């Protein structure tokens, strides 16, 4: 679904779209900001504000709005906005550094953990499309090459801004993003059904063989 090997045309695409794709560096169409700073452990676990934990960013192409934690903040912190992308800056392997997640919430007073940085684009990309293309094999390979370290790997947000992302028309982006999001929803639904069946099986076995 995404072009390979520098091609401007994907191998698979929706009917009605024939124009070549473009390439855009993230830094050409957006800016970065830092996560929480100047915090101590006493600031966490209470307060009127929330923050997005590292694991929420790492686990989800689209940030789970149900996985927020409380924090005390002041006016110097950067509040996240709808459409912002979060990147992890550190991991134990280069393959897991720079994982991204997009924030689609409209909740006020939400901030980003200190082990990630935020990215705010200018509208060049559809939010859902960007969520999935940033986790595509071609983009992930670029990010992995930027990782530096030995026992723990880190990535510079300035270098991430040089990562090139394929950019079709906004109409095609919306079709791709909606399609992949629908697939994710179906996967989640079937995973829940599978877990329910496993629990039913376990309960039946426990009652049959006492």
pLDDT tens-place string over residues 35-67? 999 998 999 999 999 999 999 999 999 999 999
In a domain, 199, yes or no: no
In a domain, 197, yes or no: no
Structural element, H or E, at residue 51: strand 44-52
Mean pLDDT value of segment 119-134: 97
Q: Give one word for 152, left, alpha or beta, with left for phi > 0 and alpha for psi -120 to 50.
A: beta
In a domain, 49, yes or no: yes
pLDDT confidence band for 3 (50 / 70 / 90): low
pLDDT tens sequence across 57-107: 999 999 999 999 999 998 889 999 999 999 999 999 999 999 999 999 999
In a domain, 82, yes or no: yes
Lowest-confidence range among 69-78, 124-133, 201-210? Answer: 201-210
CATH number at residue 56: 3.90.220.20
Lowest-confidence range among 8-17, 147-156, 175-184? Answer: 8-17
In a domain, 61, yes or no: yes
Is pLDDT above 70 for 159? yes
The pairing of beta strand 148-149 with beta strand 153-154: antiparallel
In a domain, 17, yes or no: no
Q: Which residues contact 163 (CB under 8 A, 6 or more apart)?
A: 25, 26, 139, 142, 143, 146
* pLDDT of amino acid 51: 97
Indicate the average pLDDT of the chain.
Answer: 92
Query: For the chain, what is the domain count?
Result: 1
* pLDDT of amino acid 210: 63
- Distance from C-alpha of 30 to C-alpha of 78, rounded to nearest angstrom: 15
Structural element, H or E, at residue 71: strand 69-71
In a domain, 113, yes or no: yes
In a domain, 2, yes or no: no
* pLDDT of amino acid 139: 95
* pLDDT of amino acid 103: 98
**Enclosing domain of residue 87:** 22-168
């Amino acid at each position: 679904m995404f072009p390979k090997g520098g091609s401007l045309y994907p191998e698979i695409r929706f009917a009605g779209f024939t124009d070549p794709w473009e390439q855009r560096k993230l830094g050409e169409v957006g800016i970065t900001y830092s996560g929480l700073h100047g915090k101590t452990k006493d600031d966490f676990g209470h307060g009127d504000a929330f923050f997005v934990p590292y694991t929420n960013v790492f686990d989800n192409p689209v940030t789970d709005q149900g996985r927020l934690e409380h924090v005390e903040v002041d006016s110097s912190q950067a509040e996240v906005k709808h459409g912002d992308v979060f990147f992890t800056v550190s991991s134990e392997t280069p393959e897991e550094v720079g994982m991204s997640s997009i924030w689609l919430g409209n909740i006020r007073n939400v901030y980003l953990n200190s082990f990630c940085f935020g990215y705010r684009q200018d509208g060049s990309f559809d939010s859902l499309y960007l969520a999935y293309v940033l986790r595509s094999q071609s983009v992930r390979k670029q990010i992995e090459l930027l990782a530096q370290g030995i026992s723990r790997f880190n990535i510079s947000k300035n270098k991430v801004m040089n990562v090139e992302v394929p950019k079709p028309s906004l109409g095609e982006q919306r079709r791709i993003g909606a399609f992949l999001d629908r697939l994710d929803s179906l996967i989640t639904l079937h995973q829940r059904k599978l877990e329910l069946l496993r629990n039913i099986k376990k309960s039946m076995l426990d009652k049959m063989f006492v």
